[in-house]
Structure 1
Amino acid sequence: MSQYLINITPEQMSFNSILLIEFKYVNSKLEIILAVDQERLCCKVSFDWVHSLRMTDEGDLLKTLGEGLFQRLGIFIVKNSSYYEWFNTQSCGIHECEEIKHYCLVTANEVVEVLASIEPEVIVVEKENQ
């Protein structure tokens, strides 16, 4: 079955302009700050526990882009994920009883993919309130 995306992007985030401005990974916790809507808004996406992550320049995902998977900017859950299947194989299935989801943050320049069993906290704030 083919991979497909479920959009979980907060409504106030514009699909026209999302830029990654900060990426911090410490002790299996991940925090990503995105500039949104010509940098008028910031979106903080925090994962309390990450099983696996990868970040790729969108220009290097030619096959995936050609398949139409990451054609929109935003925050998504990937269903029927080949990344999750790869992770499950590499970990010899020890996490099969957990509900691990494949989250994907697609910005203008990067694609950040995260496998996590805990939903991320997503907070959107006006830039002046940071």
Structure 2
Amino acid sequence: MEANTVRQMTTPWSGARGLTTGLMLTEVYQDVWTGKLLLSMGMPTKIDTPPQVIYQLQFDHVFGYRMLEGADVLSFMDDEDEGSSDTQIHLITPSRFLIWFHQQSQGLHLDDDIQHYRIASWDYCVDVLAGQVPQVLVKQST
């Protein structure tokens, strides 16, 4: 880590308390017209069938997001504080991603309350910059 690098801290997001952990990211859907982002999380049942979706995170006001495959995330997360293993969703503060966003947008959104959420599954890591708290949509078993 470089001397001038911002040290990020991960804090478990309270809205994820009680959700199943150890899930896979099964789908990322963005509706660019409405600005919504939907992340589906599921549990594998068989090796040759898609995971059964257990819940979805719906972000209604997204400023940006990025997604990395799990193997690429290990070094990315090494410089972070150890997060709690009882949740897969964390808030990142201060956020290098958010700093980068403000630089790219030339400070246009500095007055907006933007939070950096990290959704880490064993296969992918998704970082989301959102202006509102996400909704957790629990899917019913069929």
Tell me, yes or no, if structure 1 residue 45 matches structure 2 residue 57.
yes
Counting aligned pairs with the same residue, the percent is 24
1:89 maps to 103
The answer to whether the 8 Å contact 1:14/1:36 transfers is no
* Among 38, 41, 60, the residue aligned to 1:34: 41
**Length-normalised TM-score, structure 1:** 0.84
The answer to whether the 8 Å contact 1:30/1:50 transfers is yes
CA 1:76–1:4 in 2, change beyond 3 Å: closer, same or farther?
same
Query: Gapped runs of 5+ residues in structure 1?
Result: none
CA 1:68–1:37 in 2, change beyond 3 Å: closer, same or farther?
farther
2:24 maps to 19
* Among 16, 24, 48, the residue aligned to 1:10: 16
Write 1 or 2 for the structure with the bigger share of strand: 1
- The amino acid that maps onto 1:11 is R
SS at match of 1:97: coil
Report the Cα offset of residue 14 of structure 1: 3.4
- The amino acid that maps onto 2:71 is G
- The amino acid that maps onto 1:77 is L
Report the Cα offset of residue 61 of structure 1: 2.4
CA separation in 2, counterparts of 1:56 and 1:70? 19
CA separation in 1, counterparts of 2:44 and 2:95? 29
The answer to whether the 8 Å contact 2:30/2:36 transfers is yes
TM-superposition CA deviations, 1:12-37 (whole Å, max 9, x none): 3233x111112111122101110159
TM-superposition CA deviations, 1:12-65 (whole Å, max 9, x none): 3233x1111121111221011101597677111001121111000121124323
Query: Gapped runs of 5+ residues in structure 2?
Result: 1-5, 46-50
**Root-mean-square deviation (Å):** 2.3
SS at match of 1:89: helix
Larger radius of gyration: 2
